[in-house]
Amino acid sequence: MTVKSNNLKYYGMNGEISNKCGDKDDVETDTDNADGTLCGWFHIRPTWLQYFNTASWLAATLGVLMFVQGLAINGFVYINISTIETRYNLSSTATGVIVSSYDVTVSVLIVFVSYFGATRNKPLILGSGAVIMGLGSLVWALPQFTTGLYEYDSGHEGDGLCHLDGNSTDATDCTKEQETLSYYFFVFVFAQILYGIGASPIYTVGYAYIDENTTHAKSAWYMALLSACSVFGPTTGFLLGAVFLTIYVDVGYQDSVTITSSDPSWVGAWWIGFLIAWVLAWLIAPPMAAFPPELPGARAFQHERGSEAHYNEDSELLKTRADFGRGWKDLWPATKMLFKNPFYVFTTISKCAMAFVVGGLLPFITKFIENQFGLTSSEAALVLAVTALPGAAGGTLFGGWFVKKARLTVRGIGIQCFLVTAIAICLVPVFLLQCPQQSIAGVTASYNVSDSSPVTEVNIENACNIDCGCHGTETYDPICGENDMVYFDSCHAGCMDTSDDGEVYYNCTCIDTGDGSSSSQAVSGTCSVYCWQLLAFALGFFVILFLGFSLYAPMSLLALRCVPYQQRAHALGISSILYRCLGSVPGPIVFGAVIDSSCLVWQEQCGKTGSCWIYDNHMFAVKIVVLSAIGCGIASLAYALAVCTYRPPPDTEIETETETEDDSRCE
């Protein structure tokens, strides 16, 4: 079908066609193929829909899709994972497999999706991915509607005090098993696999799609906006998830519940967030799929902009193969070309190193803040929210804006990344800031307050509580004695009486005040701690987040611009699988193992080791600093090598367009 050029003006140009958007031959070509640049579904292409056929609306739609992806996968999944453990009798190992199954799925699929997505209908692939991602959210929520009501333990029959007859509390019933619930492990894994299938094209095909339909300068800004959307998604997921978890899981039975949200047996309405993500994903799918494979004026941008791909012998080969990358036979040659590009290899190594640090640290940052500064989980989450949202979002926007404002070339972006990672190394020691670790009887301090010698062996049992019948480290319920020492629980403090609300304990035989008093008291919880280091850490952590996320858009731009046009989506795909396999997948495992090595007191229940109750805070911080510094150091070195080995194409004319009214019309 042939469409007149005046229709082209209406369908996406928003103004007259000028030479800025291409020469006469280009315009005629676009006109002859205008049917392929119209918005719509199948043969339905209404006139009013063409108003949205611009790069700005494309970026907005893709941004919403990235927001929904982050909301569900990096938001609701992470904040609800411990609740899932409690509700469905799953171990931490099992939930770790559930979380990892998403990255494994993406790693397996992303090469094929990005390779073939480069030459197929990109918006249709993205829209289909949104549908599959929504189905994954629905599967995540499904167990709530296929199981009975939640049955919780309201506590042990005992009162948790020291009873000299040795019957302080009843031990946990270790023979009680609910194997049927644990089978839902496979349902959650399947949901994560659906997430992986649906999300795999977003950060490869999606980035390539927006980059090839706009100018170099505006591409950087759009990348920053899209990256910001991907940051806002998880943040919103954490905030909404925290609210939903204060609602009882079986919402119709909230009034009959005898426990509160602070009780370890409490299970919140974890499933509400996934239903919201399901609806949002299916709502954004039709608008995403409505965009054409190529926006009006896109060929003019592609014709105008000079290539900045690293130059080698393969560059000339690609010029003679217009159909390169359209079949399976080209998959391995295309991949080999990427690995023969040293600039691409070194920037990918940098991305892997940064993914290792960020992916390894973020899952444990709340735990880190809690332990280093003596805060509760909610207080630590508040500190994280205040620093993370402005730091991550602001850094993401700034990184893209700076590339656009400074009109940086590939070499310039590489230098920017090198400087940022080098500065980050200097800031990593901020993690050494900590409040003085509290004195914990039998763990970090002796039960005898007059004994100032360091504890050589952790042992919460003492002569003062040996006959109390305490049940080891099954449950950590700390109390603060009037001597400002923390005790593992009221039983290990030798407390024999308590107030009706369980907030104050009396006649605690293990609390040594140094004056020979036999009626020592304690209050529930750890001793209050305040120190100036918390504010300094919050400021330093904000700067680290700002700098780290300022690399978000530039790193993606480097992967796009340092390779030939035909290989952009494939380059993002290979980069993605490598930084997942070498960075974001092993990062949490390595960080978790190193952090566990700093544990002083482990949970012991039914003969099995659970989570860590108390850490050696100094070693915790030192190991975090060492791992982070190594990762940032590798990234910085790799960026330096990338800049040194970069060879621009001969006679390249780098795009230096001036943003005028004509530019906006082209988009």
Residue 230 is predicted with a pLDDT of 81
305-332: buried (b, 16+ CB within 10 Å) or exposed (e) per residue? bebbbbbeebbeebeeeeebbeeeebee
pLDDT tens-digit series, residues 571-619: 777 887 888 888 877 887 788 778 878 888 877 766 666 567 788 888 9
Q: Are residues 209 and 126 in the same domain?
A: yes
Rg of the chain's alpha carbons, rounded to an integer? 29
* CA pair distance 152, 594, nearest whole angstrom: 33
User: What distance separates the 2 farthest-apart alpha carbons in the chain?
Assistant: 99
- Whether residue 554 lies inside any domain: the answer is yes
Q: How many independent structural domains does the chain possess?
A: 3
pLDDT tens-digit series, residues 267-318: 788 899 999 999 999 999 999 988 888 777 656 555 555 444 444 455 445 5
Residue 12 is predicted with a pLDDT of 38
- Whether residue 322 lies inside any domain: the answer is no
* CA pair distance 223, 58, nearest whole angstrom: 12
pLDDT tens-digit series, residues 455-488: 778 888 888 888 887 877 777 778 888 888 888 8
pLDDT tens-digit series, residues 24-35: 334 333 443 445
Whether residue 198 has pLDDT greater than 70: yes
* CA pair distance 252, 238, nearest whole angstrom: 24
Query: Quick one: pLDDT band at residue 208, thresholds 50, 70, 90?
Result: confident
Q: Which of 279, 302, 325 is the last residue of a domain?
A: 302
44 DSSP assignment: B
Q: Are residues 129 and 243 in the same domain?
A: yes
β-pair type (504-508, 522-524): antiparallel
Q: What is the CATH number of the domain that holds 216?
A: 1.20.1250.20
Query: Of 293, 210, 292, whose CA–CA distance to 45 is shortest?
Result: 292
Report the range out of 250-259, 581-590, 615-624 with the highest average pLDDT: 615-624
Say how many C-beta atoms besides its own lie within 10 A of residue 25's C-beta. Answer: 9
Q: Are residues 69 and 211 in the same domain?
A: yes
Whether residue 434 has pLDDT greater than 60: yes
Q: Are residues 345 and 274 in the same domain?
A: no
* CA pair distance 113, 125, nearest whole angstrom: 9
CB 201 within 8 A of CB 106: no
Residue 169 is predicted with a pLDDT of 47
Whether residue 665 has pLDDT greater than 80: no
Q: What is the mean pLDDT of the chain?
A: 75
* CA pair distance 104, 97, nearest whole angstrom: 10
Q: Are residues 495 and 603 in the same domain?
A: no
Q: Are residues 487 and 443 in the same domain?
A: yes
* CA pair distance 401, 389, nearest whole angstrom: 18
Phi, psi values for residue 613, rounded to 5°: -90, -45
Q: Are residues 233 and 346 in the same domain?
A: no
Query: Among all chains, which residue has been given the structure tokens 């700034």?
Result: 398
Q: Are residues 491 and 590 in the same domain?
A: no
Could you tell me where the DSSP H helices lie in 340-431? 342-361, 365-373, 377-406, 410-427
Q: What is the DSSP string of 459-487?
A: ----TTTTTS---TTSS---EEETTS-EE
The residues with which 481 forms a beta bridge, in sequence order, are 522
* CA pair distance 380, 364, nearest whole angstrom: 11
Q: Are residues 373 and 495 in the same domain?
A: no
Q: Which of 510, 528, 546 is the last residue of a domain?
A: 528
Q: Which of 504, 528, 552 is the last residue of a domain?
A: 528
Q: Are residues 372 and 290 in the same domain?
A: no
Whether residue 663 has pLDDT greater than 50: no
Query: Quick one: pLDDT band at residue 159, thresholds 50, 70, 90?
Result: low
Q: Are residues 75 and 188 in the same domain?
A: yes
Question: At 248, is the secondary structure helix, strand, or coil?
Answer: strand
The mean per-residue pLDDT over the stretch 153-166 comes to 59
* CA pair distance 129, 124, nearest whole angstrom: 8
- Whether residue 197 lies inside any domain: the answer is yes
How wide is the angle at C-alpha 591 spanned by C-alphas 585 and 592, nearest 5°? 95
Boundaries of domain holding 384:
340-436+531-648
The amino acid present at 380, given as its one-letter code, is: A
Say what the pTM is: 0.68
- Whether residue 658 lies inside any domain: the answer is no
- Whether residue 623 lies inside any domain: the answer is yes
Say how many C-beta atoms besides its own lie within 10 A of residue 465's C-beta. Answer: 26
Say how many C-beta atoms besides its own lie within 10 A of residue 62's C-beta. Answer: 25
- Whether residue 158 lies inside any domain: the answer is no
Distances (CA, A) of 428 to 370, 495, 533: 18, 43, 15
Q: How many helices (H) and strands (E) does the chain have?
A: 24, 7
pLDDT tens-digit series, residues 51-105: 888 888 888 999 999 999 989 988 888 777 777 877 776 765 667 678 778 878 8
Query: Quick one: pLDDT band at residue 157, thresholds 50, 70, 90?
Result: very low
The amino acid present at 526, given as its one-letter code, is: T
* Edge-to-edge strand ranges of the sheet holding 486-487: 486-487, 479-481, 522-524, 504-508, 495-498
- Whether residue 332 lies inside any domain: the answer is no
Q: Are residues 191 and 280 in the same domain?
A: yes
pLDDT tens-digit series, residues 530-547: 678 888 998 998 999 898
Distances (CA, A) of 288 to 206, 213, 250, 283, 285: 10, 15, 35, 9, 5
- Whether residue 419 lies inside any domain: the answer is yes
Whether residue 16 has pLDDT greater than 60: no
